[in-house]
Structure 1
């Protein structure tokens, strides 16, 4: 193959790979990394999965550990503005030069595997994971936090053997085509990241999902730390956009921390992040200081998760991209904006449960709903036709349909008063487009 010498060539190579194979396996990924010299070995790692909340939990864990004096690498998905965001150290994305150089090295191995393997070489996500491991191996941060892409058991990140800590934030209905359509099936995929002897932290899970996870943890001698049982962090500032939690668990007792991330659903994520951070620090023989936890949580930021981009009227971007995510957003609106008029602009991918998601949003008496359309991340994943979906939707206020989302934002900006709230939501891909449009 030709040498990859430019950033655009690197991105074309990465995104030009197939996304999925017919039969899930980690053998291909392990062989791929072996040919690259096993760059994943010798790194301290934390592994986090969950239907929702894993990205925010990664961010808060990163910032707590960073405030504790550690240099922290992260691997996340999807990216919001640029691909480089997916692999970062202390929040700084990989440079274009490093990405290009490592992509060239990885591409040479992938091309050989394309010829050797009957099912073909690595997928797009496997390529990204390999580039990340090579980058982290070069940079040698104190810790690397890996966010699972989909599921856990067959995710390309699941080649690691001895993480310091693993975590499952939530289990809900999403990616059912790949993970199954029951809580038990989905939980079994997420429980695939549990490793022998590595402590496991879990958020609030449905009972049937928790039972699956607990069984796997027991079989792997992984000590289980469960939100509401082994640690807790109630919100002590109800109706505040930025919650303050009172955390008790492990070495901390009734320690109050204000969150830099907005939304009630971040309370449980913060509780998991604090617990994961304490366990990771303990594994490294380092102390846990409440002042470091406090600073990390206050300074934590994660784009497109209840992100405030304008103050008056209040405009928020929230990448609620599945039914559980929308249900969490609905609860935040009920708790924090019950006394205000809320204008929602919504676009959803066609492969999501968009009718149920719209039904949740339309159930709120103070919500004005505007549905729209966006291009979608690929031709195979288009935006849903919400104009048709809302025709039989029962709402207090008439639903508006504007096919051009930029015009939709302009319309809401005209309609909303100074003390109203505008929320853009429905898909992380959609919200990332809006974010670039508003903040560039």
Structure 2
């Protein structure tokens, strides 16, 4: 039995992250031993995708909250504290409730460890179980569940959602999910269920074809951005984005979000289509005033988030190559008149060199590559990887740690320039924590 919050976290983080053989059998057995709490959650939306999952969950949360619903969310990874992963109306689970939930599942985990030998529940299966148990005992109107990795074998994939969402498909986690877009798409499409409509963000034609084929087998339909629903960017000066949205006979003009980037317009439109689909299926009314409020109100820590104004310092968890491509679009659109200093730190399993080359396509960018303390058993990129990145271009330098990199950037910029700290979400979590503590 755990007595403290620290002990609860030690129990969770002390588990294996992956098993050699992907399967949902262990998760089903685990849930069955807990009384299948997930079956008591009647209203759920399931969100998968390479990038954009977290922001799409945040838009959905705020859309439902704007009309007065209570919303549970399950997201990963966390930015500041583990508790953020299980939240109600944006408020993380309390330390006491987390301890209570851990004590509920710990005896079941111990039993399965004995019964299954090496194949007891993983860390993420335990996270998922905690969430199901919590929302079963602390009911909300709707739970929005973010997939951890992939989809087909993800531990969240035992649910029966009302709507499934697949945000984007890109090259990430290739050792686990496959080395081509169709292979990765097939893993993400694993969340598609019989008769459950699927809303997709901006997908490549080969990825969308996988979604359509999987949906047809499951006798359901796909609603895809750029094919079935559409957005038109309406650029305006200042922070945020504005866009028009059309889907069938719905035509809404000048919707606003307080996040930067075309991809955030895509995420907002994908969330909006899932929101409307949910209301249609449940035969519930919705109001455009609430929709405008929900979209405008949405904030998502670590997604091009401002930490300071003069100079502008921002953080963004662009932790893979597809996210860097989107970052380049954002920088070209919003910051072409500014010098941009990018402090970049990623985990060892990412395509470091490719990410650097992508960022260098922006002519006014200077990159400082650096290291940070990788989380748990996951290593940050090696000094050799950093040196290789520096050798490639004179606009790339190297710093031993990110505070030194930040100091170097501050010494070189003027008040109207931009410093962007980006890469691993674990890295920007560390940076964010540092800035928040400095403000207090």
Task: Say yes or no: does 1:245 pair with 2:243.
Answer: yes
- Counterparts in 2 of 1:96 and 1:250: CA distance versus 1, 3 Å: farther
Q: CA deviation at 1:288?
A: 1.7
Task: Say yes or no: does 1:153 pair with 2:152.
Answer: yes
Q: Distance between the aligned counterparts of 1:146 and 1:11, measured in 2?
A: 21
Deviations 1:300-320 (A, max 9, x none): 011000101111111110000
Question: What are the equivalent positions in structure 2 for 1:27-42 lying under 5 Å apart?
Answer: 27-42=25-40
Aligned to 1:53: 52
Secondary structure of residue in 2 paired with 1:157: coil
Aligned to 2:365: 367
Q: CA deviation at 1:253?
A: 0.7
> 4+ residue stretches of structure 1 with deviation over 3 A?
238-241
CA contact (8 A) 2:199 2:222 kept: yes
Q: CA deviation at 1:328?
A: 0.6
CA contact (8 A) 1:252 1:290 kept: no
Aligned to 2:140: 141
Aligned to 1:23: 21
Question: What are the equivalent positions in structure 2 for 1:83-162 lying under 5 Å apart?
Answer: 83-160=82-159, 162=160
Aligned to 1:215: 213
Q: Pick which of 205-214 and 236-245 moved more.
A: 236-245
Q: Distance between the aligned counterparts of 2:64 and 2:328, measured in 1?
A: 31
Q: CA deviation at 1:268?
A: 0.7
Q: Distance between the aligned counterparts of 2:430 and 2:390, measured in 1?
A: 26
Aligned to 1:332: 330
Deviations 1:336-363 (A, max 9, x none): 1111111111111110011100111122
Q: CA deviation at 1:279?
A: 1.2
Secondary structure of residue in 1 paired with 2:26: helix
Q: Distance between the aligned counterparts of 2:86 and 2:164, measured in 1?
A: 19
- Counterparts in 2 of 1:240 and 1:173: CA distance versus 1, 3 Å: farther
Secondary structure of residue in 2 paired with 1:373: coil
Secondary structure of residue in 2 paired with 1:57: helix
CA contact (8 A) 2:339 2:418 kept: yes
Question: What are the equivalent positions in structure 2 for 1:398-409 lying under 5 Å apart?
Answer: 399-409=396-406
Deviations 1:115-149 (A, max 9, x none): 00144310000000000000010111110000001
Q: Distance between the aligned counterparts of 2:67 and 2:9, measured in 1?
A: 34
Q: Distance between the aligned counterparts of 1:66 and 1:400, measured in 2?
A: 45
Q: How many residues align?
A: 435
Q: Distance between the aligned counterparts of 1:123 and 1:36, measured in 2?
A: 16
- Counterparts in 2 of 1:210 and 1:240: CA distance versus 1, 3 Å: farther
Q: Pick which of 413-422 and 255-264 moved more.
A: 255-264
Task: Say yes or no: does 1:278 pair with 2:284.
Answer: no
Secondary structure of residue in 1 paired with 2:427: helix
Aligned to 1:428: 425
Q: CA deviation at 1:261?
A: 1.7
Q: Distance between the aligned counterparts of 2:119 and 2:110, measured in 1?
A: 9
Q: Distance between the aligned counterparts of 1:377 and 1:332, measured in 2?
A: 28
Q: Which runs of 5 or more residues in structure 2 are unaligned? A: none
Q: Distance between the aligned counterparts of 2:253 and 2:33, measured in 1?
A: 47
Question: What are the equivalent positions in structure 2 for 1:282-297 lying under 5 Å apart?
Answer: 282-297=280-295
Q: Distance between the aligned counterparts of 2:216 and 2:139, measured in 1?
A: 32
Task: Say yes or no: does 1:417 pair with 2:411.
Answer: no
Q: Pick which of 132-141 and 370-379 moved more.
A: 370-379
- Counterparts in 2 of 1:391 and 1:261: CA distance versus 1, 3 Å: closer
TM-score (norm 1): 0.96
Q: Pick which of 221-230 and 314-323 moved more.
A: 221-230
CA contact (8 A) 1:57 1:269 kept: yes
Secondary structure of residue in 2 paired with 1:389: helix
Q: CA deviation at 1:422?
A: 0.8
CA contact (8 A) 1:36 1:106 kept: yes
RMSD in angstroms over aligned alpha carbons?
Answer: 1.3
Q: Which runs of 5 or more residues in structure 1 are unaligned? A: none
CA contact (8 A) 1:317 1:425 kept: yes
Aligned to 1:205: 203
